[in-house]
Amino acid sequence: MTDGSPLTGWRVLIPRPVERSAGLVEALSAAGALPEVVELIGIEPPEDPRPLDLAVLGLSRGDYAWSAFTSVNAVDAVVGRAARLAVRPVAAAGTRVAAVGPATARALRAAGLPVDLLPPGRGSAAALAEIFPRAAGAPAVLLPRSDLAPAALPEALTGKGYRVDIVVAYRTVLLAPTRDVSDRLATGGFDAVLFTSPSTVRALTALPIDGRTALGAIGAPTRAAATAAGRDISFVAPEPTAAGLVRALTAHATTHPRPEG
């Protein structure tokens, strides 16, 4: 779909790592848009890997009743560390596994892990906390996540009777855009910017973005981060996927055509 598509000719900034952008680039290109991936966040291992190593070993031997994954990056970090340590299985047979949303669930299943709990619809940390069963006896939950992750989920799980073991599985590093990208953001060189996580919002916090540029968010947490940063979000994906973002942008472009010239 290119000719006649509302997205034909739209210049779209994707501020996420290249390896996580292929699906979004493909979907945008198929819709006639001109996507440009600019890495504004980087994923790095923890500065001290020992806590993650201990958590991975504990997960494999059954120390945890649950493990809750809130991102694909967390799945990759735990599975990758288990492979490096030659740990099998990644999660003991009796450990239940929760995923924050569809993309994280797919990553878990691709790694051979079960998904025992998944919020309906788009998914979010709040939705995951809401459906987590109440516990008695303070069973342990492993929560591998970013060093920048908010406290809401562990606090909610603690309130439901769990002992939560938080471990930094990866670090989110903000990267400065080039002068060219900054200038184009300020002068309308992009027709849309797709925020794919709160971290991508933070990466652009200090930069002016032309008011004509449509700003999209992949989900409610990202929209909340953008709103807190003073950004006006034009659309939110109906589900936190590449296809969802492109559908939302297409719907926006239908009623807000790109100016000619």
Rounded distance between C-alpha atoms, residue 170 and residue 144, angstroms: 8
Tell me, yes or no, whether 144 and 184 share the same domain.
Answer: no
Query: Do residue 132 and residue 34 come from a single domain?
Result: no
Question: How does 157-167 read in b/e, with b if 16+ C-beta sit within 10 Å?
Answer: beeeebebbbb
Average pLDDT of the residues in 184-195: 96
SS3 for 50? helix
63 and 149, same domain (yes or no): yes
- 220: domain CATH number is 3.40.50.10090
pLDDT tens per residue across span 214-258:
999 998 889 999 999 999 999 999 888 888 999 999 999 999 987
Per-residue pLDDT, 240: 80
Is 117 within 8 Å of 86 (Cβ atoms)? no
Whether residue 23 is found in the same domain as residue 63: no
On whether residue 260 sits in a domain, the answer given is no
pLDDT of residue 259: 67
pLDDT digits (tens, 9 = 90+) for 1-47: 455 789 999 999 999 888 888 889 999 999 999 999 999 988 899 99
* 239 or 165: which leads in pLDDT: 165
Determine how β-strand 41-44 pairs with β-strand 163-174.
Answer: antiparallel
**159: containing domain:** 50-172
The answer to the question of residue 57 being in a domain is yes
How many domains is the chain partitioned into structurally?
A: 2
Mean pLDDT rounded to a whole number for the chain = 93
pLDDT, greater one: 155 or 206 = 155
Question: How sure is the predictor about 86, in pLDDT bands with cuts at 50, 70 and 90?
Answer: very high
